Structure 1
Amino acid sequence: MGVVSYELIVTSPIPPAKLYKALVLDSDILLPKIVPQAIKSVEILEGDGGPGTIKKVTFGEGSQFKYSKNKIEAIDKENLKFSHSVIEGDMLMNGIEKITYDIKFQQSPDGGCICKESSNYYTISDFELNKDQLKAGKEKALGMFKAVEAYLLANPDAC
């Protein structure tokens, strides 16, 4: 098994606590509403929404994937951190055991947010990740981030 790591840093004019609430705490409701072409629905299969919870994400018509099952590893509301893993689904491409994501939202000097995400892809045997697919996946994640940001800018009372 190998591990491929990737880091993404994004800035936003939205304050960190508000962005954390939208992208972590309220994401099950907001994402299908804001980006239905990417996320059709999110349902809890096991748990109460805290660590250990298993969620099924059904992707929208615009996605190349059908679904994923995600496990919440940690939620730290005070420090605006969130960790989860993709443990099942076609996005694992029969060659990835799991994908872990660690996300932290920090205050930027201008009052906005710096969002840092590190991801680790745990490959099975000698499976090699296609770097173009990895890059395309990150661009889609960035597109969802920017869609949520635009929603929050247009709806200042949301979240």
Structure 2
Amino acid sequence: MGVFTHEMEVSSPLPTGKAFKSFVLESDTLFPKAAPFAIKGVEYLEGNGGPGSIRKVTFVDGWGFDYLKEKIDDIDQDNLSYTYTVIESDLFKNIIEKISYETKFAAAPNGGTTVKVTTHFYSVGDIEIKEEAVKDSLEKRARVFKAVEEYLLANPDA
């Protein structure tokens, strides 16, 4: 199994607590509202959102893939970190076995938040995964992140 790792750091004007709550704790209800161009719905197949839970994210037609199933590995509210693993998706196409995400939220000097995301793409067998192969997936994830951020800024009580 080969592993391709991608690190990304983004800044958000959202306060750290609001960012963590929105992007982690309330993502199942918030993402379909904030990014209806991408996400059709989120449903829990097992569990209630804590570690060990499995949820299915369904995407709109034309998004490039239809669904993914993710297992929540850990949610640490004290350290504002979240880890989960995409365990199934029609995106994989017998090339990717799984994708794991480690996300950390930290207060930024301007009162906003710095979000650091480390993504590990695990390939099937000895297939080498290159950044070009996952670029579309990473760009789509960034578009959803930005849409959620914009939704929250426009709807501060959301």
Q: Which residue is equivalent to 1:100?
A: 100
TM-score by length of 2: 0.95
Please report the RMSD computed on the Cα atoms of aligned residues, expressed in angstroms: 1.1
Mapped to 1, the partners of 2:143 and 2:129 lie a distance apart of 21
Structure 2: stretches of 5+ with no match in the other structure: none
| AA matched with 2:88 | E
Structure 2: how far apart are the matches of 1:93 and 1:127? 12
State the identity %.
51
Q: Which residue in the other structure is 1:6 paired with?
A: 6
Q: Partners in 2 of 1:125 and 1:133 — Cα distance?
A: 16
Q: TM-score, normalised by structure 1?
A: 0.94
Matched pairs, number? 158
Residue equivalent to 2:21 = 21
Moved more, 119-128 or 71-80: 119-128
1:140 aligns with 2:140: yes
Change in Cα spacing, 1:130 to 1:3, as seen in structure 2 (3 Å) is closer
Q: Deviations over 1:14-69 (max 9, x none)?
A: 11110111111111111111112211111100112110001011111241001111
2:74 is aligned with 1:74:
yes
Whole-angstrom CA distance in 2 between matches of 1:4 and 1:24: 24
User: In structure 1, how many angstroms separate the alpha carbons of the residues matched to 2:108 and 2:115?
Assistant: 9
> After TM superposition, which residue ranges in structure 1, 4 or more long, deviate above 3 angstroms?
none
CA distance in 1, matches of 2:67, 2:128: 22
The alignment partner of 1:92 has SS state of coil
Q: CA deviation at 1:103?
A: 0.2
